[in-house]
Amino acid sequence: MDVLQIGQGELIGWHDPDEQRAWIAAHKSRALQDKRTTVREAVARYVTDGALIACGGFGHIRVSMAAIYEIVRQRKRNLTFCGKTAVHDSDILIAAGCVNRIEVAYAFGHELRGLSPASRRAVEGGRCRVVAEISNAGYQWRFLAAAMGLPFIPTRVMLGTDTLAHSSARVVEDPFSGKPVALLPACYPDVVLMHVHRADRYGNCQIDGIAIEDFELARAARRLIVTTEEIVDEDVIREHPQRTVIPYYLVDAVIEVPHGAHPTLMPDLYYFDETHIGEWLRLSKTEEGVIEYLDRYVYPIKSFAEYLKLIGGREQLEYLRQVEHLEAPLRAPWLEEKR
């Protein structure tokens, strides 16, 4: 197979498939074990300085903010981040000095809300380095290749562009059609943080609504930390096995954290907390503001329940439930500015 082009982006998260199989054989138990723990313990144990980390969800949707805040609290350093439409998670981690390298499909922005002041400052000032570019489909297919135990997967994305030239993909001539095809290398994050609707004590997980790329990402992860809205009885899982998106043997830790995705959206349970996201966007315009935010909402916080009180407690959570169910109008600082 002729190699027509080699992307110059740094290859991150790749392992030889046999090396990965050996790692799985040695480190991933197939035993049905109780994996309940605390976020503090899971992050302390699995998120090591320098690790490659990725988050489930997408943008401000279903992100394990409980785990993100804990990484900040434990002051993890030199992490590399999978910027697979990474928005609030990567912004906070870069601003807090935890992440200094990122592979980017989409980052440094908050969609309609505008660009991220903090992570843009970090990347334009050189404190955080973009190691490679990729597209959204491209990233998810890197995880698919990993999930399948393959070294790469052929696709037709990024061809002919600078995105490919700055990615870790390679272009070869397809032996069947004779046309150029982009080979995307597998990506196995060292740790994946994911928030789900329900899981049992062993880690069997259900997700309501769109799975986005969590099916692939959970299978690509070397270590998978799952926070869940609720831990349910094993029978709940076994009654509807077709609903299981992630079977237990992929999971290393499972922790019940109600509202653990706040201020991101949890389908059918709570909408984006635009007031809180707006506060972050406003404060993160300056370094002092970043510290003010972290000192208020992250560093001194002992439990996620304590954090939930700070963001408005029961009343605010009830409001977010109502917005999600189309029972209350959306309030958003950035929307007020637009009007």
Partner 1 sequence: MNQDYNPTELLACVAAGLLADGKSVFVGTGLPMIAAMLAQRTHAPNLLIIFEAGGIGPQVPVLPISVGDSRTFYRAVDASSMHEVMSAGQAGYVDYGFLGAAQIDSYGNLNTTVIGDWDRPQVRLPGSGGANDIGSFCWRTIIVMRQDERRFVEQLDFLTTPGYLDGPGARERAGLPANSGPYRIITQLGVYGFDEQSRRMTLLATHPGVTADEAQANTGFDLIIPDEVGTTEPPSPQMRRIMREIDPTGMVIGK
Q: Which residues bind partner 1 (CB under 8 A)?
A: 57-61, 83, 85, 104-109, 111-113, 115, 120, 123-124, 126, 130, 133-138, 140-141, 144, 155-163, 166, 171, 174, 179-182, 209-216, 265, 267-268, 271-272, 274, 324, 326, 329-330, 332, 335, 338-339
Pseudo-torsion of CA 276, 273, 197, 85, nearest 10°? -80
Beta carbon nearer to partner 1, 135 or 204:
135
The Cα–Cα gap between 291 and 81 comes to: 21
Q: For residue 44, how many other CB atoms are within 10 A of its CB? A: 14
Beta carbon nearer to partner 1, 39 or 211:
211
Residue 288 CB-density burial (10 A; 0-12 exposed, 13-18 middle, 19+ buried): exposed
Beta carbon nearer to partner 1, 248 or 272:
272
The Cα–Cα gap between 248 and 91 comes to: 30
CB of 113 to partner 1, least distance (A): 8
Spatial neighbors of 124 by CB under 8 A, at least 6 apart, are none
The Cα–Cα gap between 50 and 81 comes to: 10
CB of 52 to partner 1, least distance (A): 18
CB of 185 to partner 1, least distance (A): 17
Spatial neighbors of 164 by CB under 8 A, at least 6 apart, are 5, 7, 158, 171, 182
Beta carbon nearer to partner 1, 40 or 127:
127
Beta carbon nearer to partner 1, 73 or 84:
84
CB of 206 to partner 1, least distance (A): 13
CB of 5 to partner 1, least distance (A): 9
